[in-house]
Chains A and B, each alone.
Chain A
Amino acid sequence: MEATHEIRNDAESTLRELFATLLEQNICHALMLPVQLSAGGGVAPALVRDRDRLADARPLAPVLPVSEATTAARLTRGDRQGVLGLLMHPCQLRAFVELVKLQQADRENVLLIGIDCPGTYELTDYVKLAREMSEPGEDLLPELRQGQPQPHTGYGFRAACQVCEWPFPAQADLRVRIVGVGSKAELVLQGRSELLEALGFTPAADSAGLSEAEETLLRERRTRRDEVFAAFSAGVHDMAGLLEYFATCIRCLNCMGACPLCYCKECIFRTDTFQHRPADYERWLERKGAVRLPVDTLLFHLTRLNHMVTSCVGCGLCDSACPSDLPVARVFRAVGQRVQGLFDYVPGRDIAEPIPIATFREDELE
């Protein structure tokens, strides 16, 4: 069901009041949402119970500094009271759903909240922008409504965002629609009738299908995606291309640490298996004559692909985390889409859909 929400003053303060209602009406015991830090101009996720603290909330901030899904998963694991409201970017909502399937997060007593996403900036870019203007997220709304979000002049959305085909938070219990909502003075809320009523709205039936603006946005993203994938395949189609792609990798494992889906407390790459000893290096020297240090760069990425790419949501946090600016997200997204396609699987699309590596069919892949 959906309901039209009139914007008072601006969208961001309207949303702040909406979230305040969630707390006041005891619909949520606490909320996780982006909050302006008092110093430095940065924005970070925060867990908020005190209604007054919501004054610093920035629900539209076009930035994804850390994996919201990882934090959300931790907040839901274990005994807790009340319903936890989690405002996350659409990619993080999908990652959260995957983490639920991996038994790392709990869907019960959780209210997932999502807002149509124009894309996000790298944190360093966002901080620069936030110094120049007070509400960067608000600026992006007019073009987002048309389904053609444009970054601020002189800035660009993160590469992963530019090819994201899932900017609408379909997994959310409460979705704030912007794309295709014609009037500048309105937002549309989507959710179950009981929820909309509790928030003080009169629910109406959902509009059928996707609006033209939504179609436009998806089309543009898919075109861009195909361009990026084609460029990737052209560059990486043999050993030389593959080695070149990862030539600047320094094996810091940051990409793995940033990834919402890499949840293993003891990744094999952090175990003794990869604590090589002088005798191992000696053997390699004998056979190869030289060995790049640190070792196992390609093995790390190939293994990580095999372990988690079926659940890769394309959030690009790996890109943002890489100190060498290696386009990690591109390889995971490009390879991921193909691998997921083998099983007609879209990560985070449906919580009831098992992860490809966690299930099988007796008649398949003959």
Chain B
Amino acid sequence: MERQMQTNSPLSTAGPPFEPRIIAFLCNWCTYTGADLAGTSRMQYPPNIRVIRLMCSGSLDPVYVLKALLEGADGVLIGGCHPGDCHYMSGNYKARRRVAILREILAQLGVDEDRVWLRWISASEGRLFADTVQEMVDALQAKGPNPFKGQWAI
């Protein structure tokens, strides 16, 4: 069953719910290819996502995730190969540690770490990619917009 962008959330009382803006850092070999598969298979999923392709999830410096959040992105999705399947052997293991550290730092500072998602999505998992985006949009809609949006004094 194809799922579409929700335009009338039962939770909203004043007009349509806000549309979360998600920045996605996807690894070339797995998740980006999986996203491509979702596209070529004409799977429908919310358009709230803006994709940035990296060669490996392990090459993602936390500064990029932080920049996205501080500029007001409602969510950041990091997609990589499943543990054990990294094209560069161990990049995703390092990404896993880095994301754990990043999330802990955010949590300690009162910034919602659940806006940063790390998901292992392989090149053949187009359906999983589409579902993940839908899941993330739903979750972020429930959370509400990132309080850093429009924050000029950072």
Contact = CB atoms under 8 A, between A and B. Distances in A.
B16 interface: no
User: 5 nearest interchain CB pairs?
Assistant: A360-B93, A306-B62, A237-B110, A290-B152, A238-B110
Contact of B97 (A247, A303, A365): A365
Given A237-B110, A365-B96, A339 B148 contact: no
Contacts of A233: 108
Given A238-B110, A239-B110, A306-B63, A288 B104 contact: no
A303 B62 contact: yes
Contacts of A37: none
B33 to A, nearest CB: 23
Contacts of A209: none
A261 B61 CA distance: 18
Interface of B: 61-63, 66-67, 70, 72, 83-84, 90, 93-94, 96-98, 100-102, 104-105, 108-111, 147-148, 150-154
B105 A362 contact: no
A268 interface: yes
Looking at chain A's contact residues, is the secondary structure mostly helix, strand, loop, or mixed? helix
Interface in A165-196: none
Interface string A289-330: 111100111110011011101100000000000000000000
Contact of A338 (B62, B102, B108, B111): B108
Contacts of A302: 66, 70, 105, 109
A339 B70 contact: no
B104 A241 contact: no
A361 B96 CA distance: 10
Given A305-B105, A342-B101, 19 more contacts: A236-B110, A238-B110, A239-B148, A242-B111, A284-B152, A288-B151, A289-B150, A289-B152, A292-B154, A296-B154, A306-B62, A306-B66, A306-B101, A310-B101, A331-B109, A339-B105, A342-B104, A357-B97, A365-B100
